[in-house]
Amino acid sequence: VLRDMSTLPRVYVTRQIPPEGLKILQDSGQVQFELWDSDDVPVPRTELLQKVKGVDGLLCVLTEKIDAELLDAAGSNLKVISTMSVGFDHLSLEELKKRGIRVGYTPEVLTDAVAELTVALLLATSRRLIEATHEAKTGGWGTWRTLWLCGYELANSTVGILGLGRIGVAIAERLAPFKVKKFIYTDVAPRPELAKAINAEYVTLDELAKQSDFLSICCALTPETKEICNKNLFSKMKNTSIFINTSRGGVVNQEDLYEALSTGQIAGAGLDVTVPEPLPTSHPLFTLKNCVILPHIASASYSTRNAMSALAANNLLLGLRSQPMIKELKL
Ligand code: DGY
């Protein structure tokens, strides 16, 4: 049977997403979709504003700002936004709510990958792996030395988590076998159900800064958490502490972090996220040996990125059918 595709809901996909998601859209026969056919550069804003005109659904990634301007350009047909990310700080939720647009996102499928990468980044930072491989390759490797390239170990340490959600719990579960002495966390309120799983104690932000040997940032970026990691926090941390951020760059005041790292206020930092992204290669943080910077790769495993694209596609299709999405944001 030949179907008239032109009567199907129209969807714009802002990136060449991994194959599983594209296949779901293609095989559904439920939508006609247009795609920004590149993974290497994001769709230019002007192009995006053109392409969204009159669409019923939008599948986006975290590089697209979904704000009033974009929603106005799209017009009143737009019913569903599906983002291929767990983070949603690129979406103006208030504007979406006002217009009655539903939002899908991709929590849970990336928790393992993000937790795994966070552990890798933590160890790379605390045991100075990047510095060490550089020394080995460039002639810095002299005789075996007693204190050369020494770092800090997890055994017997206190690990702090700022923002205890699924990812924070998954990180703690992976770190526990390294003989961590104690887990502590802070959040807007205690989260006893999650904390119980990892035997974590609720403390104030001040205590978190003071007690943590390793501080892992796992909160969402919101107006409340913007630059919550600033001079005030770093000044309370021990000078033997390691700071790790795999959430969003915006939760950190980077000038204050630079200061804390360069003066020895804290021992090291591992960042998977920065402001802006990409961080310019001339950025002062890149000059510091005690700062390990990754290009936002925490969820970057083949299986997870495919699962994220499949979930984003399914959320979109369900939303367009006016059914409950698999993972829908409550607005
Ligand atoms: C997200 O999903 O929000 C991550 O930052 C990218 O996987």
Its ipTM equals 0.98
What would the DSSP string read from start to end of 116-154?
HHHHHHHHHHHTTHHHHHHHHHTT---S--SSTT----S
| Tens-place pLDDT, residues 234-259 | 999 999 999 999 999 999 999 999 99
Answer yes or no: is pLDDT of 273 > 70: yes
pLDDT at 29: 96
Model confidence, pTM: 0.96
**What pLDDT score was predicted for residue 6?**
83
Ligand 1 touching residue 86 (CB < 6 A): yes
Q: What is the pLDDT of residues 21-50, one digit of tens each?
A: 999 999 999 999 999 999 999 999 999 999
Instruction: Confirm whether 134 is a catalytic residue.
Output: no
Q: Please give the order of strands across the beta sheet that includes 158-162.
A: 200-202, 182-186, 158-162, 214-217, 242-245, 268-271, 291-293
Ligand 1 centroid – CA 150 distance (Å)? 32
| Ligand 1 atom closest to residue 273's alpha carbon, by position in its atom list | 5
What domains sit in the chain, N to C, each tagged with a CATH number?
A: 5-109+302-320 (3.40.50.720), 111-293 (3.40.50.720)
| Max CA pair span of the chain | 76
Q: Using alpha carbons, select from 64, 65, 76 the residue that is nearest to residue 100.
A: 76
In this structure, the residue with its CA closest to atom 6 of ligand 1 is 85
> Would you say the CB of residue 60 lies under 6 angstroms from ligand 1?
no
Task: Confirm or reject: Cβ of 62 under 6 Å from ligand 1.
Answer: yes
Q: Is the CB of 329 under 6 A from ligand 1?
A: no
CB-ligand 1 contact for 110 (6 Å cutoff)? yes
Q: In this structure, is the dihedral angle defined by the CA atoms of residues 183, 187, 189 and 191, taken in order, positive or negative?
A: negative
Closest ligand 1 atom, CA of 248? 5
Is ligand 1 within 6 A of the CB of residue 87?
yes
105 CA: nearest ligand 1 atom: 2
Q: Looking at the predicted structure, is the pLDDT value of residue 3 above 80? A: no
Which tens digit of pLDDT belongs to each residue from 42-59? 999 999 999 999 999 999
Which of 90, 134, 283, 296 is an active site residue?
A: 296
CB contact at 8 A, 308 and 301: no
CA 85 – ligand 1 centroid, Å: 4
Residue nearest to atom 4 of ligand 1 (CA): 85
Tell me: the pLDDT tens digits for 65-91? 999 999 999 999 999 999 999 999 999
Which residue owns the Cα nearest ligand 1 atom 2? Answer: 85
Instruction: Report whether residue 216 contacts ligand 1, using a CB cutoff of 6 Å.
Output: no
Ligand 1 atom having least distance to the Cα of 62: 3
Return the percentage of the chain with pLDDT > 70, whole number. Answer: 99
Termini Cα distance of the chain: 40
- What pLDDT, on a 0 to 100 scale, did the predictor assign at position 4? 74
The CA angle 126-141-294, to the nearest 5 degrees, is 35
Contact 242, 122 (CB under 8 A): yes
pLDDT of 140: 97
Is the distance from the beta carbon of residue 257 to the nearest atom of ligand 1 less than 6 Å?
no
Report yes or no: 280 and 254 within 8 Å, Cβ to Cβ. Answer: no
Residue pair 149/132 in contact (Cβ under 8 Å)? The answer is yes
Question: What span, in angstroms and rounded, lies between the C-alpha atoms of 172 and 260?
Answer: 25
If you measure from the C-alpha of residue 2 to the centroid of ligand 1, how many angstroms do you get, rounded to a whole number? 39
Q: For residue 253, give the amino acid letter.
A: N
What is the Å distance from ligand 1's center to 299 Cα? Answer: 6
